[in-house]
Homo-oligomer: A and B are copies of this chain.
């Protein structure tokens, strides 16, 4: 049977838009001869709809959208979609997360998700009641092992313990199936491709059964879904693969045999994936909100704003990106020059507005209050906040989406000014450590074939330029050491002892970094959403108390 994998990019809550997308891809699949088309998890609502699910009208409308899809698609094709539905049981959560097979204008079969991820960025048990068993969908002579996303993830080889005590895949296999079919909304993070692909290969091989994965693509606020939908045959070999980070469709014929496709290596993928994830994150935020005329980036001459700006151009095109430099008395001449060189390379407009008049005005206004105090961080913050006011004024006046440029190292340490450089709608590098920002810059330049990001921006020592001759390393440990400690603490969940034993770094240094990270939660709760590219990003997936006193 010809089966289409429809890797679509739905928008959360856009029931009409998503319906049209599903109908359009179904028609295309039918035109290409498919008898069955498979869409991602919760494609009717987009994933994750979060507490939109708490609104009963949202669920009623979702049900109506499903009926509309059933009647608007061609009658001679099976359409497997994902959607939340009311829980028919008298007890439990009010909803279930389902896969629905539509055929001949109505719902032919239904499968309910059994394993509900409720950790990190996932909150599914907040809304959904899990299924207690697993049922096969029979369709035109095929026995389909349909299941949803997490249902495939309880494989002992791929976790150091079993999160769930049930195994949906084994239960499906025991009932006799021709293939596994997984509808997913599995977000990107660094390394996830290799883990997910290895898992699929392992499952197909272990059960001697072909495996079809259809994964959502596109960004919805913090989360970027990478797609990379695929089929592994009964030997585990990859025989069909859709591109990552793009809306796409492919047809796999279950009666044909295919030769194995090559899988890109982790090393090849790493920076390209991060770059594509960030580009898609910016593009979809811009397109799906539909609220902005252009993107605005404040250019400091430093590497963070340069990389952010290049990503913005890659996301929406140079004609929809504008830069502005905001020099102060502490800005080096090189800073403005580097920004102008970047703007030229990126082919974007770049304005320049000196912040000096407002900084002087604040200085005068605060003189009576600040008399007999010494100048320090508060004065530096005034500069950063003056820049924030100017950037937001431009954003408000011209409907620009202001991007923040701070990286994960800075955000970890609170080395950023709340309402200053933290002002903006989307934090592009919030989940990218400074050392990786450098790698990204080199990747971008290599891809362009020239120093699109000026060499001087990459080579000069990083500085906030808020005080004379200031350098980041006056306040922070060298980034390679800092990032190593931060990565272990935040992403690997290691604490003081383990980090010290593994790295041999100074215990006092490690403790002070961990404490600084914890204490700066108050800034991060007011940060704009960041694009998630690691397994543990700040934001919805890392919920720490602002007021707390855990001491090591």
> What residues of chain A have their CB less than 8 Å away from a CB belonging to chain B?
11-17, 46, 48-52, 54-58, 61, 90-94, 118-119, 123, 125-126, 161-165, 219-221, 284-285, 288-290, 351, 353-355, 357-358, 360-362, 364-366, 368-370, 373, 377-378, 381-382, 385-386, 388-390, 392-394, 396-397, 418-419, 423, 425, 493, 495-497, 522, 525-529, 540, 542-552
Contacts and interface: CB of A to CB of B under 8 A. Distances in A.
B353 A550 contact: no
A284 B366 contact: no
B390 A13 contact: no
25 contacts: A13-B548, A14-B551, A16-B551, A49-B548, A52-B550, A55-B550, A56-B493, A56-B495, A57-B495, A90-B162, A91-B161, A92-B162, A92-B163, A118-B118, A123-B123, A221-B547, A285-B547, A353-B366, A361-B361, A362-B390, A366-B390, A369-B397, A378-B393, A382-B393, A526-B527
Contacts of A544: 50-52
A386 B388 CA distance: 10
Contacts of A358: 358, 361-362, 365
Contacts of A368: 353
A325 B26 CA distance: 62
Contact of A126 (B16, B119, B378, B392): B119
B393 A549 contact: no
Contacts of A386: 389
List the 7 closest pairs (A to B, CB-CB), nearest first.
Answer: A13-B550, A13-B548, A378-B396, A14-B549, A57-B495, A357-B361, A419-B419
A288 B290 CA distance: 42
B161 A90 contact: yes
A493 B544 CA distance: 27
Given A91-B163, A366-B390, A382-B393, 5 more contacts: A13-B545, A17-B549, A50-B544, A118-B118, A362-B390
A157 B112 CA distance: 29
Contacts of A495: 55-57
B393 A362 contact: yes
Contacts of A92: 162-165
A27 B59 CA distance: 54
A12 B552 contact: no
Contact of A118 (B11, B126, B381, B549): B126
Contacts of A418: 392, 423
A12 B545 contact: yes
Contacts of A46: 548
A432 to B, nearest CB: 20
B543 A540 contact: yes
B357 A365 contact: yes
B351 A545 contact: no
Nearest to A61: B550
A345 B13 CA distance: 50
Contacts of A377: 396
Contacts of A163: 91-93
A48 B397 contact: no
Nearest to A377: B396
Contact of A220 (B425, B540, B545): B545
